[in-house]
Structure 1
Amino acid sequence: MKRFLQLATFTLFLAPTAALAHVGVGNTSGFMHGFVHPLSGLDHQLTMILVGVFAYRLGGRALWLVPLTFVAVMALGGFLGVAGIPVPFVEIGIALSVIVLGAVIAFGVKASVAAAMGAVGLFAIFHGHAHGSEMPLDASGFEYGLGFMLATAVLHAVGIGIGMLIGMSSRTLGNNVYRLAGGLASAAGLALLLGYV
């Protein structure tokens, strides 16, 4: 697990931020726009990090199945957005994803792997649709999709790393940190839902 955390941290440092100065050039335009989109909104960042923390807390197969489900279903939602197929209540669904996942972390909900996959998959539709419907007209859909999927996977890895760091503390301290972090995330989600953020 220590190696995984080191790899996740190293991956963040390799993110090609210098290339952001050149968005709009050739095929990199689609990829970079897609990569930046999940990183540019607090709603997306919180949800994707919370998915990683949730997966870590569940452990076992959930550690990779829950994030993988989110990324795969988000890609489907992105396709719907690019195709112009409407999904109702996208913004509400995104805000609720932060509220619900924050509460799941705060209360230490132990869900089955299937239930966790179903929940994150539902929320992923909304996030994916938002990514897809906001794709620049001149971007390649394939590269754009790869970009937001990779950024999402990085945020999941960050969440898993955060979960691991919290889990390494004492049981009492760790549970309190999970409660605090989940509660703050839920409060941020409520602020998003009410339009304060």
Structure 2
Amino acid sequence: MTHRLALALLGITLAYFSSAFPGLAHTGEGYGGGFVAGFTHPILGWDHVAAMVAVGLWGAFLGAPAIWILPVVFPLVMAFGAVAGILGIPIPAIETGIALSAVVLGLMIVFAVRPPIWVAAVIVGAFAIFHGYAHGTELPATVNAFAYAVGFVISTGLLHLIGIAFGLLVRWPAGRTAVRGAGGVIALAGVAFLTGVA
């Protein structure tokens, strides 16, 4: 039963990625209403996608209770970062922080790092501030801020679930290798974002 569930979740994950359309989250283009704008903002930027999927992957890799705590901490702290962005509170090096989140979280998965849960939560929360701030500063002037926030929090949660779905493969030896390999891909993507290649 668990094997079937993992395969079903993996199928859903692959279907999601194959249907995702390209774009950049940080251009401010292509937004509809408040909820739609917020919902699409994280999934249109591969830097956001990589980090948010990594949170779910790392949580699944660490197992309970991290599998649920990390994906809850991220959007909660991200909301505070978004408020800071909306209010115009200066936070330096936002794009660098977003890129580093993919690098660091990817490497945590690659090297099977298992810190205490509070350390993992602090790492995830620290990076969530950068992602939230980016969402907040790019709030389109014509949309409802609350609906926008609800949209990007839900979208973020779904990206975490995709990471968890793939991360459930760690229960099998080949799956564990695949998850660590995915962490490597995420870390390399982060390096590409950091260096401006992507």
- The equivalent of 2:190 in structure 1 is 189
Q: Does 1:119 align with 2:128?
A: no
Say whether the 8 Å CA contact 2:6–2:166 is kept in structure 1: no
Taking structure 1 as reference, are residues 107 and 76 closer, same or farther at Cα in structure 2, changes over 3 Å only? Answer: same
| TM-aligned CA deviation for residue 6 of structure 1 | 5.5
Q: Does 1:53 align with 2:54?
A: no
- The equivalent of 2:161 in structure 1 is 157
Q: Does 1:34 align with 2:38?
A: yes
| TM-aligned CA deviation for residue 179 of structure 1 | 2.9
- The equivalent of 1:180 in structure 2 is 181
**Match of residue 138, structure 2, among 134, 138, 156:** 134
Gap runs ≥5 in structure 1? none
Q: Does 1:65 align with 2:69?
A: yes
- With normalisation by structure 2, the TM-score equals 0.84
- With normalisation by structure 1, the TM-score equals 0.85
Matched letter for residue 115 of structure 2: A
Q: Does 1:103 align with 2:107?
A: yes
In the alignment, the residues of structure 2 paired with residue 67 and residue 178 of structure 1 have an alpha-carbon distance, to the nearest angstrom, of 17
Task: Calculate percent identity across the aligned residue pairs.
Answer: 42
| TM-aligned CA deviation for residue 90 of structure 1 | 0.4
| TM-aligned CA deviation for residue 23 of structure 1 | 5.7
Q: Does 1:77 align with 2:76?
A: no
* CA deviation string 1:127-186 (max 9, x = no partner): 00000100100111100000000000000000000101x3243x2x23322332111211
In the alignment, the residues of structure 2 paired with residue 48 and residue 96 of structure 1 have an alpha-carbon distance, to the nearest angstrom, of 12
Q: How large is the RMSD of aligned CA atoms in angstroms?
A: 2.3
In the alignment, the residues of structure 2 paired with residue 146 and residue 6 of structure 1 have an alpha-carbon distance, to the nearest angstrom, of 27
In the alignment, the residues of structure 2 paired with residue 4 and residue 168 of structure 1 have an alpha-carbon distance, to the nearest angstrom, of 10
In the alignment, the residues of structure 1 paired with residue 31 and residue 133 of structure 2 have an alpha-carbon distance, to the nearest angstrom, of 22
